[in-house]
A and B are shown apart, each in its own frame.
Chain A
Amino acid sequence: MNKNYLELSQVGIEFPTDGEPFRALQNINLSIQKGEFISLIGHSGCGKSTVLNIIAGLYRASEGGVILEGREVNEPGPDRAVVFQNHALLPWLTVYENVELAVKSVFKKTKSKAEMRDWIAHNLSLVHMDHALHKRPGEISGGMKQRVGIARCLAMQPKVLLMDEPFGALDALTRAHLQDSLMEIQNRLGNTVVMITHDVDEAVLLSDRIVMMTNGPAASIGEILEIDLARPRDRLALAEDPAFNACRQQVLRFLYEKHRNPAAQAAEVPASETPPTEPQVAPASVPKAKPTSSAAA
């Protein structure tokens, strides 16, 4: 039973467009164990975010479905917390209030006020943010914002933690630091994590399995690589570990030999210097009316 804590079966999705519908994903099958750390890797635009959004319930799959602990996922909910690429903190709330909003909506009935206060503080200290509780997102650095975003999700005690390139917008040092924090937290709490990344080193360092996606349209899972490295892992020691390097090689080979991104064929970029993500396509659900022409009336 444990084997299929979270299960994607035959997941596919089509996006409506002006012309023919655009098929982004097809035949995605994946079983994830409780406590497992999964990385999704693949070229830009292949459909990683779409997979994550389907697990989160933010998108509905056109075929197939997602089952979490025996129940089908068909709407977003706090049991599948999402760490967004651009932190998605509410800029008008302080760090504390941002986490509080999540805690209140999850534990309104089960925790007392004092318990909630302790729980918020506890989660912020997990990500080492207890020194800036009353600052607004605009007053803290990018790495700190991302940490608050992670704390907000941890505080919801989700069944699955979904992370869409959580460290994509950060510099290498900050990123390494946050990777270490994340590893430590995951070791301690045993969260089930699905993380999207562009960074091969990051994927190998953090994951139990790396899911490599083929290029879109109609992307699916190309290979799955088990990373059999002992935990806790240490980045310095691993840098010289042949097993670590073998895993890296395998992912690189998949990305740059078997499934070269047609758009990026000219550029021979080493994986560790993967260029930053291309701008994401805005999700299509609930398009909003925008009478911009009369904005300044």
Chain B
Amino acid sequence: MNAPKIRSDISQRLQQLSLASLLKGLRRTVKNLVLPLTGIVIFLFIWQIAASSIVTSLGQFPGPSDVWQQSKTLVAEHRQERQKADAFYTRQEVRNAKKLAKNPQADVKVRPYTGKATYFDQIFTSLYTVMFGFLVATFIAIPLGILCGLSENAYRAINPIIQTFKPVSPLAWLPLVTMVVSALYVSDDPMFEKAFLTSGFTVALCCLWPTVVNTIVGVASINRDLIDVSRVLRLSSPVYIKTIVIPSATPLIFTGLRLSLATGWMVLIAAEMLAQNPGLGKFIWDEFQNGSSSSLGRIMVAVITIGIIGFILDQLMLALQKRMSWDKQAVLR
């Protein structure tokens, strides 16, 4: 074989190679992009048809296009509200500047803008309410689960309580939590809204259980050999918990946390409706009470928002789990 022949051989091989990888890439795109998109399109189509055949007392059930319209309106309202706020603050600034120019000792105040909460403010309220409840639950659930997993006596003592409270609906808790918060949280200058605390604690009560139960199972199913290793090494309890118990329970703890966060997010909407915490739940409730022709569309926007945020929260937890997991080969989904 002479040199040019070899060269053309190689270039041919390269072409084949890149063609093959191109095909492979194409197939992956179809799998990861085209299939989900097809699903969504079919869904939208069915939705449109179904919506057009349902007429409610508030008018036509919203189809995809109405919902799209409403979401644009909500964004526009948000922009407007922000502009108003900006204008309000600039006016104040100008006024204060004038005052100071006249009299440097003048007592100037900046009053906060008290316009109505926009859709995005409400999303934000919901997010930090659910985070508050979720964190409270996590700080109780993981230690409790470790305790019950390690000590059979503790497990026997606490398990009946767990099993009893686990199936309780948030709506059942809410009146009690409301009354307790009103009774115990009395201050002249409250740091938190009562509605916020009520919703947060209701969320916490409901999303406690998945983490507790999964932590118990995770801790109780530590490999026997590892327990024997810790006995031979005479590890102290803190070292044992830190180096053996928590790492081996981590996968199940995270399973629990993900379930908890998902539960918490679901519960939150109901809690906000009843507690009137200014989040997405209240938004839906207010729209429902409003009963205008655009209400159903706006509620549908909220429904989709709730779904997407729930999905994002779960993906964030998954990413966190992947980062914290020692077994990088494990398939997490």
Contacts and interface: CB of A to CB of B under 8 A. Distances in A.
Interface of A: 56-58, 75-78, 80-82, 84, 86, 88, 90-93, 101-102, 105-106, 136, 138, 156, 282-283, 286-292, 294-297
A78 B224 contact: no
A290 B152 CA distance: 10
B233 A297 contact: no
B209 A290 contact: no
Interface of B: 148-149, 152, 155-156, 159, 163, 166, 209-210, 213-214, 216-217, 220-221, 223-229, 231-235, 239, 243-244, 247-248, 252, 255, 259, 326-327, 329
Interface of B is mostly: helix
B249 to A, nearest CB: 11
A102 B243 CA distance: 12
Given A76-B234, A138-B329, A295-B217, A101 B243 contact: yes
A102 B294 CA distance: 68
Given A90-B247, A105-B235, 4 more contacts: A105-B234, A136-B326, A156-B233, A297-B213
A92 B247 contact: yes
Contacts of A289: 148-149, 152, 155-156, 159, 216, 220
B327 A78 contact: no
Contacts of B163: 294
Contact of A102 (B155, B227, B233): B233
Contacts of B156: 289
Given A90-B226, A297-B210, A58 B159 contact: no
A290 B232 contact: no
A77 B231 CA distance: 7
Nearest to A53: B228
A291 B213 contact: yes
Given A102-B233, A291-B217, A88 B228 contact: yes
A93 B243 contact: yes
A105 B233 contact: yes
A283 B233 contact: no
Most buried by B among A57, A82, A86, A295: A295
B213 A294 contact: yes
Given A289-B155, A297-B209, A81 B232 contact: yes
